[in-house]
Structure 1
Amino acid sequence: MQQKTFTERVIDIIREIPPGKVATYGGIAERAGNPRAARQVARVLHSSSRKRGLPWHRVINKQGRIALKDQGYERQKALLEAEGIYLDLKGNVDLEEYLWNPIGGLI
């Protein structure tokens, strides 16, 4: 059996993020087997979210903030809030409350 590529593992992980939870770019990279590849996770999201129907809005940065600007920020914020995830007045998601912490090893 052929081992999955990093990109395939990232896509699988993003698909697993449940509604009402978020994951960080770096956390996804680490779980996919390359803890230094947070930017690669962002690239996968950019290139694959629409065509693969990924829940891109559930991925934020390690500070608990939305990385997008302007309209992208507002769209992501609205999607998160629709799932019951709220940002504070400074635009931060409470990672202690909303960070997805899956049980299990790498896929």
Structure 2
Amino acid sequence: MSAVLTKDLIYEILSVVEEIPEGKVASYGQIAKLIGRDKNARLVGKVLSISGYYGKYPCHRVVNHAGRLAPHFPEQKNLLLKENVEFKDSLHVNMKKCRWDC
């Protein structure tokens, strides 16, 4: 299935991101699965990179499957630390403790 980036798809992804509770994180793949597009984790990342055009969303709560922070989002770690998200090391969230169970 080809992933065509439409406003409906963008808002579908952002509505899931909006549901991630403070102090929890979700992976790109987890969000893709929640919208029924299991193989579109990169698409989720693309949408998050342009999310500022669509409003204010807690995109800092999205990490890769291993808990690694986004490389081009320097504020992400501080935003997560303010929410008491636990880290395994300087670049990885502790996914066992902080993954959003949805």
Specify if TM > 0.5.
Answer: yes
Structure 2, unpaired ranges of 5+: 1-6
Asked if 1:85 is matched to 2:85, the reply is yes
Give TM-score, length-normalised by structure 1: 0.80
Specify which of 62, 68, 79 is matched with residue 65 of structure 2: 62
Give TM-score, length-normalised by structure 2: 0.84
The count of aligned residue pairs is 96
Mapping of 1:26-105 within 5 angstroms?
26-49=29-52, 51-69=54-72, 72-73=73-74, 75-102=75-102
Moved over 3 A (4+): none
Asked if 1:7 is matched to 2:4, the reply is no
For 1:101 and 1:25, the matched residues in 2 are separated by 14
Contact 1:17–1:23 (8 Å) recurs in 2: yes
**Residue range with higher mean Cα deviation, 75-84 or 39-48:** 39-48
Q: Between the two proteins, what is the percent identity of the paired residues? A: 35
Higher helix share: 1
Please report the RMSD computed on the Cα atoms of aligned residues, expressed in angstroms. Answer: 1.7
Structure 1, unpaired ranges of 5+: 103-107
Q: What secondary structure, in the 3-state scheme, does the structure 1 residue paired with 2:38 have? A: coil
